[in-house]
């Protein structure tokens, strides 16, 4: 009897020991898994205040966009009189990221939004999605930067919208990134669209025409790192169709199609020990909705005795210098321009040339706090020769936060 009791106790003891070891192993494995996964929470609260000398489209009161400046004298364009003060917190941003190493490569996710309303929410302080995507190893899907753009060209400025001649578009896509790091290569299939304002499909020729996009846009980039910066080449090709819903009108059936394409060359180059030059040149036809501030992608032109739609040619340039005076002070100064090769049937009030320039002085009193002032200038020129410019003075305060944790 004593032997049986002893054996039973011994058996249960071994079981408890094995169970304890298994449990300890599971806890150890979980702790290793947790240690391998990083989770970042980040963002900032930001105030913008300023004065604009010339009125622009009221829906874009707190940004400098040449396409939104007056296209006609103030007494007929409905923008009202000049001289206005503006204030807002629409640049405020919140985001989360995660990264988990796996046997198939790093698994990454990002979700980020801000309060700057656009589209039907233009002029509003409301949630606007910036990034929502995941990536496992070389393959990713969701909404993030288009490979056709180079976010590193964006200067260290406080004006929200940025250089008008820059390719700038966050798009829904599936992408393949076989090379990453200092050298980078990305190929993507992107959501198509045609617009005069950041990817919102519109009737881009006019009349009873409806835009149609039968294929995704194909974009690609390659970045080559160097000792003092990098050089990046990017390209895009896309198909645009439009259907005439009233082919019996006086102009006949205007149904048609066009192929759009774009080429970009960009770079960041170190200027001494304190400066960084941010440069880009973009040329294309029918890729205006990938530009930071551009009009329509397609317009009508005469073709003998008929009318046809064509992809509109354009070119943009960006040249900025960021300078870090010391750990407390920095500056950015530069210029950008967008030129449109208009068709012969575009209206006289159509946008032709836009210019953008700024200079600032930013102060960082402590870590994660920025205070700064900026002088901005923009100019618009129409097909008919009408011009409008705007000089702005802006003050901003930004309070940033960031936290990294480890977990599942």
Q: How many CA atoms lie within 13 A of 276 on its CB side?
A: 16
CA distances to 99, 105, 106, 142, 160 from 102, rounded to whole Å, are 10, 5, 6, 20, 37
Measured CA to CA, the distance from residue 40 to residue 95 in angstroms comes to 8
Residue 259 has pLDDT above 70, yes or no: yes
Burial of 246 (0-12, 13-18, 19+ CB in 10 A): exposed
Pick from 2-16, 275-289, 311-325: least confident:
2-16
Per-residue pLDDT band at 221 (split at 50, 70, 90): very high
Mean pLDDT value of segment 13-42: 55
Per-residue pLDDT band at 78 (split at 50, 70, 90): confident
Mean pLDDT value of segment 47-57: 97
Of 235 and 306, the one with more pLDDT:
235
Residue 305 has pLDDT above 60, yes or no: yes
- Condensed to tens digits (0 to 9), the pLDDT of residues 173-215 reads 999 999 999 999 999 999 998 765 654 444 455 567 788 899 9
The DSSP code for 55 is: -
Mean pLDDT value of segment 97-124: 95
Q: Residue 382 has what pLDDT?
A: 97
Per-residue pLDDT band at 15 (split at 50, 70, 90): very low
- Condensed to tens digits (0 to 9), the pLDDT of residues 129-142 reads 999 999 999 999 99
Helix, coil or strand: residue 13: helix
Diameter over CA atoms, the chain: 113
Pairing of strands 298-303, 229-244: unpaired
Q: What is the pTM of this model?
A: 0.87
Closest CA to 216 of 181, 190, 188: 190
Q: Residue 68 has what pLDDT?
A: 96
Q: Residue 319 has what pLDDT?
A: 98
- C-beta of residue 273 within 8 angstroms of C-beta of residue 326: no
Helix, coil or strand: residue 58: helix
Closest CA to 383 of 329, 345, 331, 356: 345
Tell me the two tokens of residue 289.
């909705």
Q: Residue 292 has what pLDDT?
A: 96
Residue 28 has pLDDT above 50, yes or no: no
Residue 11 has pLDDT above 60, yes or no: no
Task: Please give the helix or strand (H or E) that residue 23 lies within, else none.
Answer: helix 2-36
- C-beta of residue 146 within 8 angstroms of C-beta of residue 186: no
Residue 314 has pLDDT above 70, yes or no: yes
Mean pLDDT value of segment 144-154: 98
| Percent of the chain whose pLDDT exceeds 90 | 75
Measured CA to CA, the distance from residue 315 to residue 288 in angstroms comes to 9
The DSSP code for 167 is: B
């Amino acid at each position: 009897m004593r032997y049986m009791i002893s054996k039973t106790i011994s058996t249960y003891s071994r079981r408890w020991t094995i169970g304890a070891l298994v449990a300890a192993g599971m806890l150890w494995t979980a702790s290793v898994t947790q240690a391998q996964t990083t989770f970042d929470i980040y963002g900032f609260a930001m105030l913008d205040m300023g004065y604009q000398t010339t009125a622009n489209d009221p829906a874009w009161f707190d940004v400098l966009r040449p396409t939104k400046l007056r296209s006609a004298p103030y007494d007929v364009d409905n923008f009202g009189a000049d001289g206005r003060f503006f204030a807002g917190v629409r640049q405020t941003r919140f985001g989360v990221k995660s990264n988990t190493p796996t046997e198939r490569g790093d698994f990454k996710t990002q979700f980020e939004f801000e309060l700057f309303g656009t589209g039907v929410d233009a002029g509003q302080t409301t949630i606007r999605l910036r990034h929502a995507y995941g990536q496992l190893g070389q393959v990713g899907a969701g909404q993030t930067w288009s490979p056709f753009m180079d976010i590193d060209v964006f200067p260290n400025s406080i004006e929200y919208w940025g250089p008008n001649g820059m390719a700038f578009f966050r798009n829904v896509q599936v992408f393949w990134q076989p090379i990453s790091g200092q050298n980078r290569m990305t190929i993507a299939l992107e959501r198509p669209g045609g617009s005069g304002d950041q990817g919102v499909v519109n009737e881009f020729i006019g009349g009873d025409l409806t835009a149609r996009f039968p294929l995704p846009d194909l974009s690609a980039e390659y970045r080559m790192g160097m000792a003092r910066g990098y050089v990046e080449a990017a390209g895009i090709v896309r198909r645009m169709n439009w259907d005439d819903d009233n082919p019996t009108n006086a102009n006949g059936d205007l149904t048609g199609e066009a192929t759009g394409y774009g080429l970009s060359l960009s770079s960041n180059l170190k200027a001494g020990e304190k400066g960084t030059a941010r440069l880009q040149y973009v040329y294309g036809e029918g890729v205006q909705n990938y530009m930071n501030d551009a009009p329509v992608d397609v317009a009508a032109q005469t073709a003998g005795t008929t009318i046809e739609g064509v992809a509109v040619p354009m070119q943009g340039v960006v040249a900025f210098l960021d300078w870090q005076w010391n750990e407390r002070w920095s500056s950015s100064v530069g210029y950008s321009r967008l030129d449109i090769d208009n068709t012969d049937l575009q209206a006289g009030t159509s946008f032709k040339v836009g210019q953008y320039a700024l200079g600032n002085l930013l102060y960082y009193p402590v870590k994660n706090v920025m205070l700064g002032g900026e002088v901005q200038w923009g100019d618009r020129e129409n097909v008919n020769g009408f011009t409008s410019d705007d000089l702005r003075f802006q003050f901003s305060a930004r309070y940033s936060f960031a936290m990294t944790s480890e977990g599942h």
